[in-house]
Structure 1
Amino acid sequence: MLGVTDFINPSELGESSVTEVIMEMTGGGADCSFECIGPLTADAFRCTKQGNGKTVILGVEKDGKQLGLSPNEFLYGKCVMGALFGGIKPKTDIPILAEKCMNKELELEKLVTHEVGLDDINTAFDLLLQGKSLRCIIWMDKLT
């Protein structure tokens, strides 16, 4: 397991909303939700627990739409925060992560879905845009 406990595809919910499904699954709301693409940020916020729910925004919509939440929704003790590049501090965190990778404490290879040579870089971008690739390694020395 790489940290994700559940995944919901909104297109498979029928008449139920994402918020309704998550509230039911968790018995009152998730402790923490992560929104990675933008359009479901309000749903991600609304599905967290009252009192201490946290929503982390990792992605934004292409057209820069504003987040549509009522100020009253924040009165229940929930919070929203952003995490550009995962919220890391490069100077201190990258050496720690590099050491964990070298010691095999982080299994990053499990996150790689495709590998291509430099001459197939457009294929890598196509896979990413189609949602078929999580992470793609582009090998600079593999040319045809």
Structure 2
Amino acid sequence: MMIYFSFTFFTLFSVFQIWLGSSSSNNFSFIFLVQVCVVEGARTRGASKIIGVDINPEKRIKGEAIGITDFINPKEIDVPVHEKIREMTEGGVHYSFECAGNMDVLREAFLCTHDGWGMVIVLGIHPTPRLLSLHPMELFDGRRIVASVFGDFKGKSHLPLFAKQCMAGVVKLDEFITHRLPFEKINEAFQLLLDGKSLRCLLHL
């Protein structure tokens, strides 16, 4: 689990260099572990505002516990998500992370970034042949779209430092283990993941 976490964490900590006081929007829908990694990375880097977006209201409590400062449920607002976020952040976030693997969410993630320097980082997997609806002129104001798979993570040089940060409590890994079950209940563990009720479940032999 540490390796999996580190890939997403280093996307924020190493490659994109979120700076102290910047704002980020975490646009997500289903795979909650990736979202939590994004939030932890943004928190560790000192982001002043971390906005979580999810249609599942239960994610608000967990999100607030790990560091989000604001939560938006698209079903509870009467305007597009990007309009709400741009209003909350006086023009848009510096970084927006798309974790759902959904083209509509990716489009919203792009629109909620700030003109001139906003960046969208694509972390979600997009299996369908759909293409992103984007006019070239929308990129002329300086906003960027990039993707990251491993966050430029280098095991030999980065892993020892990352392990020290975890042991020192700089990075909080304990928050990611939400359930512990005996191995014979492995099907129950998978169901918890599918239902969005678990981040990671430790199975004991």
TM superposition score normalised by structure 2 = 0.61
Distance 1:87 1:136, change over 3 A: farther
In the TM superposition, what whole-angstrom CA distance separates every residue of 1:97-123 from its partner, at most 9, and x where no partner exists? 112122232221022222222222222
List aligned pairs for 1:1-144, cutoff 5 A. Answer: 2=40, 3=43, 4-13=68-77, 15-39=78-102, 40-139=105-204, 141=205
| Bigger mean CA offset, 48-57 vs 124-133 | 124-133
In the TM superposition, what whole-angstrom CA distance separates every residue of 1:26-79 from its partner, at most 9, and x where no partner exists? 111011111111220110011000010011111123435322222211111011
Distance 1:133 1:85, change over 3 A: farther
Larger CA Rg, structure 1 vs 2? 1
Distance 1:135 1:11, change over 3 A: farther
Q: Distance in 1 between matches of 2:93 and 2:129?
A: 26
Q: Distance in 2 between matches of 1:95 and 1:120?
A: 33
Where do 5+ consecutive residues of structure 2 fail to align? 1-38, 44-67
Q: Distance in 2 between matches of 1:46 and 1:121?
A: 40
Alpha-carbon distance, 1:88 to partner: 2.1
How many residues matched?
Answer: 139
Secondary structure of the corresponding residue to residue 113 of structure 1: strand
Secondary structure of the corresponding residue to residue 84 of structure 1: coil
Higher relative contact order (CA 8 A, sep 6+): 2
Amino acid at match of 1:29: G
Root mean square deviation of aligned Cα: 2.0
Distance 1:86 1:7, change over 3 A: farther
Alpha-carbon distance, 1:135 to partner: 2.6
Q: Distance in 2 between matches of 1:88 and 1:68?
A: 30
TM superposition score normalised by structure 1 = 0.83
Following TM superposition, the consecutive aligned residue runs of length 4 or more in structure 1 with deviations greater than 3 angstroms are: none
| Bigger mean CA offset, 74-83 vs 110-119 | 110-119
